[in-house]
Structure 1
Amino acid sequence: MSYSVIFRNVRHVSSYSTKNFYLCNVSSALFKTHSFNERKLECKRNFSFQSSIESIIKTQTGIFRTISESTPVEYLQNFVVDVHDITGLPWWATVMCTTVLLRSSVTVPLAIYQNYILGKVHHIQSELSELAKELRNEVAIAVKLYNWDEKTAQYHFKRSLKKQWNSLVIRENCHPVKASLLIWFQIPMWICFSVALRNLVYILPKTDVNAQIIFNELSVEGFGWIVDLTQADPFFILPVAMGLINLAIVELQFLSKPNEPTKLQRYVLNFFRGFSIFMIPVTACVPSCVALYWTTSSMYGLAQNLILLSPKVKRFCHIPQTSSELEKPYTHIFNGIKRRVNSISNLRIL
């Protein structure tokens, strides 16, 4: 019988004293064995950056402790454990399935809503540009009638334009702030679920028998080249994959724009490129279950962005059509990739 089956059976043992004594002995012995192996790995480790990141991750003071013991993290931690127990999936599959479930139920609806709001904002901006022309004519007439100076004319023009903007936003119920709801939900969920998995690996916030059993399950329910989900990826496959996927997401956002990016947009683009590369060594230092969550979430995000580029999907989701929308987005992206490859080839020839 495998360790995972033993742990799952033992975890549901009733609270009789003899059974509790057996439970403590089994979990303690297995935990000591794993701790001994972990100490041997620590002795071999000579990567200072990895040691620094691990020490930060294991810190349980200040903001780390506050987040670790927060209610959202507790709910997510219990949720992933319940998914594992109910489905009977190994832990690597549990992490991936929970990631897909959370993103499908939270980020996908918010991403559709974000595109819906941005589409409406684009329409009222076009309408506002027409109203601005009429306001300029009215202000020009007022300047002649009331002898306004340039400063007074600009004040009244901006004030009237702001009133028109507010009335259009109220009419369409599309305040631009609503488009940021995706970020306000996605980032906290990403942090909380990462901390929830961290709690399972480091037996936090409560060091009890169940937590130790889950830890031992994580140490034997890996996949492929990652047998132990409590240790970092030994071959750096997940970190590199996550970095490349995040770079693909950044480049997709760049290539899907119909116009050339502005100088500010290029700075933002380069920042996210650098951040994607920076996350590779960080991911190489965290436990594999956390790295698996990050990689799965990035893969889902890439697929989500690609699907939401489709005009048919947008119309199905009632996202308004705009003048900047590409009729054939995938062809446009493919042509952009070809141009970039050709430019790199020409540089090599030179």
Structure 2
Amino acid sequence: MYHRVRVASSSLRQSAPSRLSNRHTTGLVSAPRRGFHATGAKPLPLLDTIAPWTLVPLHDALQAVHMGTGLPWYALIPLATVAMRTAVTLPVAIANRVRTRKQVALAPVLAAAGPVLRAKLAASEAARQGRLTTEQVTVLAQKEARRRRVDLFRRHGCQVWKSVVLLPLVQMPVWVGTSLVVRAMCGWAAGGVTAIGVEPGFSVPAEAAFAWYPDLVTADPYGVLPLIIGAVSLANVEWNTNNLLNRSGSASRQSLQSQGGPVQRVVANLSRVGVLFFMTAAFQAPAALCLYWASSASFSFVQNVAFDRFLPLHRVDPRSVTATTGSAVPTPNRIETRVIRA
């Protein structure tokens, strides 16, 4: 049942999720639509504290691009996603890939140093006098190898912590912030991000209706976008997992696939389960938010494929490392490497 009400322009930004007609001042307003939870969004004061200096500028930028280009929202959201990822996250991802390439290239150096360290400890005076057992020699060699790995990666500017921290530190705030902005523009975050109002254009057919979904405010009626999100996200997980196995060599690959590699297998399985939960949430999300998630996931998949094509992580055969003597770990300019296709 519809009710005729008068909606003031000043109260438009505080209105509950609703389907607005083309007339913004007087029109037919349907009953509030279902959000992520049947009881509606709960107030989150922290978001309203953060929004004025983080989320509101992003919302204003989207509005400015929309008004300047005249593009409909169903086209602007994917294009804005690609532009944002290219300008903000892609440079960090490229730098992260370059660091990983250095780590892969230095791996044979560290592998060649392991036997040397164990031999030196086994030939030490403490070992000859029986004060060091074989197990103790192995443990001490591993500790020294880890210390030298940290030092070697630091000297070549490819520390492990940079690869683990920097990319998520940039990518996650961008993804979460944009998701909150798009969700608030759909009216599904009333009481959560009150600084961002409902976007009426999300309900105008000329601006929002495309292909199978009638607008950007309601959930996808056929579930096509959630299925696309799940398929692309799962393709990302499988692509990265297979590349990890292919870069490990034949023996290591068999070990990872069968009995070894517990950490890799656990991470891969957790990622697959996470994709299922993510796809389930997408079935209840507005179409605009699903459109952003699908565009971001597709960008990540294309980025991974492009990295493997133009910045591949080649496996270096440890047998090609020239044997060196002495206590110092050999550096890349003292070894001869032979690139083997994984």
TM class, shorter-length: 0.7 to 0.9
Equivalents in 2 of 1:144, 1:267: separation in Å? 39
Provide closer, same or farther for how the CA distance between residues 125 and 323 of structure 1 changes in structure 2, counting only shifts above 3 A: closer
Instruction: Please tell me whether residue 166 in structure 1 is matched to residue 153 in structure 2.
Output: no
Which residue of 102, 121, 133 maps to 2:103? 121
Instruction: Please tell me whether residue 192 in structure 1 is matched to residue 160 in structure 2.
Output: no
Query: CA shift at 1:31, angstroms?
Result: 6.4
Equivalents in 2 of 1:113, 1:183: separation in Å? 13
Provide closer, same or farther for how the CA distance between residues 23 and 267 of structure 1 changes in structure 2, counting only shifts above 3 A: closer
SS of the residue 2:308 aligns to: coil
In the TM superposition, what are the counterparts of 1:237-252 in structure 2 within 5 Å?
A: 237-252=224-239
SS of the residue 2:222 aligns to: coil
Q: Work out whether residues 96 and 163 of structure 2, in 8 Å CA contact, stay in contact via their aligned partners in 1.
A: yes
176-185 or 95-104: bigger deviation = 176-185
Which residue of 201, 205, 213 maps to 1:217? 201
Equivalents in 1 of 2:39, 2:53: separation in Å? 22
Show the counterpart of 1:201.
186
Q: Work out whether residues 116 and 320 of structure 1, in 8 Å CA contact, stay in contact via their aligned partners in 2.
A: no
Provide closer, same or farther for how the CA distance between residues 303 and 159 of structure 1 changes in structure 2, counting only shifts above 3 A: closer
Query: CA shift at 1:66, angstroms?
Result: 5.0
Which residue of 24, 27, 33 maps to 2:27? 33
Provide closer, same or farther for how the CA distance between residues 271 and 104 of structure 1 changes in structure 2, counting only shifts above 3 A: same
Instruction: Please tell me whether residue 149 in structure 1 is matched to residue 132 in structure 2.
Output: yes
Query: CA shift at 1:124, angstroms?
Result: 2.5
Equivalents in 2 of 1:266, 1:82: separation in Å? 45
In the TM superposition, what are the counterparts of 1:1-350 in structure 2 within 5 Å?
A: 30=24, 33=27, 36-39=29-32, 42=33, 51=34, 53-55=36-38, 58-62=41-45, 64-65=47-48, 69=51, 71-142=53-124, 143-144=126-127, 147-150=130-133, 153=137, 156-180=140-164, 181-202=166-187, 205-206=193-194, 211=197, 215-220=199-204, 221-222=207-208, 223-256=210-243, 257-258=245-246, 259-260=253-254, 261=256, 262-310=261-309, 313-314=310-311, 321-323=314-316, 327=341
Query: CA shift at 1:192, angstroms?
Result: 0.6
Provide closer, same or farther for how the CA distance between residues 232 and 33 of structure 1 changes in structure 2, counting only shifts above 3 A: farther
Query: CA shift at 1:56, angstroms?
Result: 7.7
Provide closer, same or farther for how the CA distance between residues 160 and 277 of structure 1 changes in structure 2, counting only shifts above 3 A: closer
Which stretches of structure 1, 4 residues or more, deviate above 3 A after TM superposition?
A: 22-29, 31-34, 54-57, 62-67, 144-147, 151-160, 203-208, 319-322, 324-327
Query: CA shift at 1:231, angstroms?
Result: 1.5
Spell out, residue by residue over 1:75-130, the C-alpha distance to the aligned partner (whole angstroms, 9 max, x if none). 22222122212211111111111100011112222222222111211232321222
Equivalents in 2 of 1:168, 1:149: separation in Å? 27
Q: Work out whether residues 35 and 285 of structure 2, in 8 Å CA contact, stay in contact via their aligned partners in 1.
A: no
- Gaps of at least 5 residues in structure 2 are 1-7, 14-19, 247-252, 318-338
Spell out, residue by residue over 1:136-170, the C-alpha distance to the aligned partner (whole angstroms, 9 max, x if none). 12211213456533376456534533442232122
Provide closer, same or farther for how the CA distance between residues 141 and 186 of structure 1 changes in structure 2, counting only shifts above 3 A: same
Q: Work out whether residues 198 and 290 of structure 1, in 8 Å CA contact, stay in contact via their aligned partners in 2.
A: yes
Provide closer, same or farther for how the CA distance between residues 71 and 55 of structure 1 changes in structure 2, counting only shifts above 3 A: farther
Matched residue count: 286
Structure-1-length-normalised TM-score: 0.71
Partner AA of 2:263 in structure 1:
L
Equivalents in 2 of 1:309, 1:63: separation in Å? 40
SS of the residue 2:168 aligns to: helix
Structure with the higher fraction of residues in helix conformation: 1
SS of the residue 1:309 aligns to: helix
SS of the residue 1:33 aligns to: strand
Show the counterpart of 1:347.
none
